[in-house]
A and B are shown apart, each in its own frame.
Chain A
Amino acid sequence: MSTPPLRRGTRIGTQWLSFRFDGRSYPAQAGDTAASALLANGVRLMGRSVKYRRRRGLLGAGPEEPNALFNVGEQPQLIPNVQATLLLLREGMSLASQNRWPSLRVDLASLLQAGGGLFSAGFYYKTFIWPSWRTYESLIRRLAGLGAAPLDCALPHVAIEHLACDVLVTGAGPAGLAAARAAARAGARVVICESEPVCGGELEFEGGHIDGQTAAAWLVRTLAELESLGARILTSTTVITDNGGEFIAHAEPGGLPGHNTMYRIRPRAMVLAAGALERPIVFCNNDRPGVMLLGAAERYLTRYGTQVGRELVLFANHDRVYASAQRLAAGGMAVRAIVDTRGADALMTGSAAHVLRDSLVAAGVECLAAHAVISANGGSGVRAVRVAPLHGGPPRKIRCDTILVSGGWSPALHGGFHGGAARAYAPPLDSFVAATSTETRRHAGSANGCLELGAALADGHAAGARAAADAKATGHAGVAPQGNGDPSPRLQAFARSPAAPAAERRQFIDLQNDVTVADLRVALAEGFSDIEHVKRYTTLGIGTEQGRSSAVLGAAVLAELKGESLAAVGVSRSRPPYQPVTLRSIAGFHVGDAVMVSRRTPLNDWHVAHGGMLEPMGLWMRPRYYSANGANPFDAAIAEARQVRTAGGIVDGSTLGKLEVAGPDAAAFLDFIYLSKASTMRVGRSKYMVNLREDGMVLDDGLVLRLADDRFLATTGSGHGTHMLSHFEHYRALHWSGRGVTVTDVTEAWAVIVAAGPRCRDALLQVLDTAWQAPIGRLGHMDFADGSHAGQALRVLRASFSGELAFELHCRPAGAVALWEALLAAGLAAYGLEAVDILRVEKGYLTGSELNGQTTPFDLGMAALVKQGNDCLGRALLDRPAFHEATRPRLVGLRACDGRSRFLAGAQLTTAAAPDRPQGFVTSSVYSPTLDQWLGLALLARNQAEGTQLMARDPLRGSDVAVHVVAPVHFDPASERMKG
């Protein structure tokens, strides 16, 4: 590979490196972006469009780039959708274009283009609905564009830094630097975020003088002064969103995810001086490779010494095009013509632009006034341009390979937008500026409509000084820098060239999403008139583009089509983040085990060491089964459940929520919280109670123990402990403030071991201190006793959720393992949650699935509890007639008619008469080793009587099983085992 001549630019060095693009190797200079290097190598075709697969090249040179998005690297760690304009090349880097198959030059899907307006606005909504979207989804997804998702992620953790400061300045252009300098001089702690790798903004291109120095010299001095005043300058760092007073800034050096930093900055005051983005003008085939923003061409030349083309035609609606033309010509490119949409009298006699034009004309540049570019010719790249007078006259062709277009500048108001700041139309810009500044959020420079250097400096200084004062800095900001640079652009509103109706299909507004003028017409014709509706219907400004190049342009075209002013149409809102951010950066360190905290019981280590297979329940980890008891969860659970029924077992119940409610008003408080009365219990007794939400639905169930006259222990479901604590605290605050009731979470103060089965009483008598002999023998069903064991507090509660004789041992966490191991030694075996479910369903106890927030106590067979007449929370709404209709669900039991078929939770229950209308569904199902068949609990319409035969239909898992309805209690209905 022969080395091309060395380019010189402000951002590149002289060392060579090589990179690959779509399999070919190219040379680049250190500091090149993918865009500048490819351009320098004569590569203009950089991707295809997402919908029509039209060939696309570069539009811009920065974050506004909608076309040149690359996949970087190789699977499995490929990084998709990287903007070529921001991607700093490194040796050996491998890039690939997107939206094409099999290759960029030959793309099969582009044949779709032959169908003309196949994918017009609303096409997906209108076309793929019969029989359903799902029919087409996989095909469409394969054709859909943008990058490939990485299969793996080896990116390092993002660094996260929290910053508090007095004044945050977004943007280090003239306005931002003036603001930062004023604020820092006034004594404010200043942080500056600049998305470019270097500061200066437009000073990089525009000449001009500030305070008697060249702009470049002023920039160097100002940065040094800011540094000496302690200002923190963050380059390659973009403020991506305003998160309610905290600004999130993302640093991605080199434009590629890797060593990223997320800054969370909480300033006392903010100056938004993020500058403006140039917008194009719409004409036919304005998406061809070779149609580029005027400012982008200047950037490629200044920064990278890259010429964007050989023969240029410039198309603009303002004065600045003439200065640009002169600089580009000086850079070695041939300017064939300047097409100005304004009349010949637009240039003021004697103005700088006028003088420049005359000299350009003298140098042989054709300057056309009141003309417009009508279309670009050439498929894979511009070969010529057709221009026409705006006020009648035939079009003619001008040969060129590049069309540089500039339709004005749209302030980058992203931070303000996301904070909900209002926008106001600014006629000099034909765009929108921030309507209001607040004490904490001020706008400066372009965001205030100041496009001239002097005005931007003065505006920035004033905003910085005020922001410092808002932040209570007391120093003196000094005098504003005086600057003079390019004069006002004297822009005249012009968004799109005239076109025949058929040509509007090739007048592109949003290049990333392939939205044309024709699409906007369709949207209007179909009644989508508001700019936000048009955005959603046509996809204008969605995706990573977020309207950076298209939002104001789209609004202006819509205004034209509607015959309204741009001010009246307004502009759509962009969404955060302002710049695409990899999920890795957003996730931070919340990946893998750190996604969520988990809670472990005091017995956790024992479970893990003895084959306990953990599963989450809420935040808790609990053993589902023990691997020693079977090769799979099913077999293990059956063995464990059988062991409990035949001999005895122990299960870790420490995850039960435990709330201690105490005080003289504790009983009255619980009477309000729970459906049945706590106040009538005697000390030493416990009771199964449920509580309701205020709408009458069952919230949770559990046992309540009366520890003393003024002290209760309420247990909650394992997954509900923290929620129930909040629930108790909520109603205590709402109705019991200043009264005698306290709520204390004692969940982790007690480990709970549940011993169940015919031999469990013997095991307890063998294991516990001898003082327990008498109480254990005495305890009736639902009684408990307090005492101690091995020198530590122990509470023994006789209660059962298995249908067997069972005791809950509430002990201190430190003694839990010793007690657990002693019980094992006494002949009991550990069982897990799967076995718990089997035992509960056999006995008709709720498993948790039935408390789904849609069931009342009547639905769950608890009418008796309601009759106790408590005026508790949620009670008032239980009398609603709708809760008593015949179609309300009722808890029932199910068994397979053939006594052996399997049916699963989630299956829908239907009658033979109406096979498509579910009457209810299976909430829990287990295989019962005791009864040797599948058993279920279900919520079934009340008008389906016991004995009815139904089908349990489970089309997703492909089973239809005939079942009959039985009472929910499948085993030992008289409860002789647990009460005996």
Chain B
Amino acid sequence: MRQLPCPFCGARELREFVFHKTLPAAASATADASADEFARTYLRVADPQLSVEHWQHVHGCRAWLLVRRNPSTGAVLAVQMLSGTAP
């Protein structure tokens, strides 16, 4: 089984993690917030070389992770803790 390097726990098997979603390839920024939200939610463009994803180490430390992957090769490019400030 593939492993994912959790920044907190180290390399752990994929079965400990749960995938949540792929982020849109390019964030749109227009004056219309609702249109932006719509585009982010529904109009996703897949980049075959880079997928930015939210995962959770559910059966481990429960950290939410920002994972950058190359879907064409399956290579994991980077994993970091998901963090951000209030919307």
Contacts and interface: CB of A to CB of B under 8 A. Distances in A.
Interface of A: 243-246, 264, 420, 668, 672, 694-695, 726, 729-730, 733-739, 876-877, 879-880
A876 B64 contact: no
Contacts of B3: 244-246
Contact of B63 (A264, A695, A733, A734): A733
Contacts of A734: 54, 64, 82-84
Contact of B2 (A243, A726, A729, A877): A243
B41 A736 contact: no
B84 A244 contact: no
Contacts of A246: 1-3, 13
A244 B54 CA distance: 20
Interface residues of B, number: 28
Contact of A729 (B13, B14, B56): B56
A854 to B, nearest CB: 14
A695 B2 CA distance: 31
Contacts of A733: 63-64, 81-84
Given A245-B2, A729-B56, A733-B63, A877 B37 contact: yes
Given A733-B82, A737-B84, A726 B63 contact: no
Closest 8 CB pairs of A and B: A244-B2, A737-B83, A733-B64, A876-B37, A733-B82, A734-B84, A695-B41, A735-B86
A738 B83 contact: yes
A738 B86 CA distance: 10
Interface string B22-48: 000000000001100110011000000
A482 B81 CA distance: 53
Interface string B50-87: 00001010100011100000000110000001111111
B11 to A, nearest CB: 10
A420 B62 CA distance: 31
Nearest to A871: B87
Contact of A880 (B38, B62, B84): B38
Nearest to A878: B34
11 contacts: A245-B3, A668-B86, A672-B87, A730-B54, A733-B63, A734-B84, A735-B87, A739-B86, A876-B33, A876-B34, A877-B38
A172 B64 CA distance: 44
B3 to A, nearest CB: 7
Contacts of B14: 244
Interface in B1-29: 1-3, 13-14, 18, 20
A678 to B, nearest CB: 15
Q: Which interface residue of A264, A668, A730, A734 has the most chain B CB atoms within 10 A?
A: A734
B44 to A, nearest CB: 12
Contacts of A877: 34, 37-38, 41
A694 B23 CA distance: 13
Contacts of B20: 726, 730
Given A420-B74, A733-B81, A726 B86 contact: no
A737 B54 CA distance: 15
A879 B2 contact: no
A735 B73 contact: no
Q: Which interface residue of A876, A879, A880 has the most chain B CB atoms within 10 A?
A: A876
Nearest to B2: A244
Q: Which interface residue of A244, A668, A879 has the most chain B CB atoms within 10 A?
A: A244
B34 A420 contact: no
Given A734-B54, A876-B34, A877-B34, 11 more contacts: A244-B1, A246-B2, A246-B3, A264-B1, A726-B58, A730-B82, A736-B85, A736-B86, A876-B37, A877-B37, A879-B34
B59 to A, nearest CB: 11
A738 B83 CA distance: 9
A168 B85 CA distance: 46
Contacts of A420: 73-74
A735 B82 CA distance: 9
Contacts of B63: 733
A249 to B, nearest CB: 14
Nearest to A737: B83
A246 B12 CA distance: 12
A879 B58 CA distance: 33
Given A695-B41, A733-B63, A736-B86, A726 B34 contact: no
A378 B82 CA distance: 70
A737 B85 CA distance: 6
B48 to A, nearest CB: 14
B85 A735 contact: yes
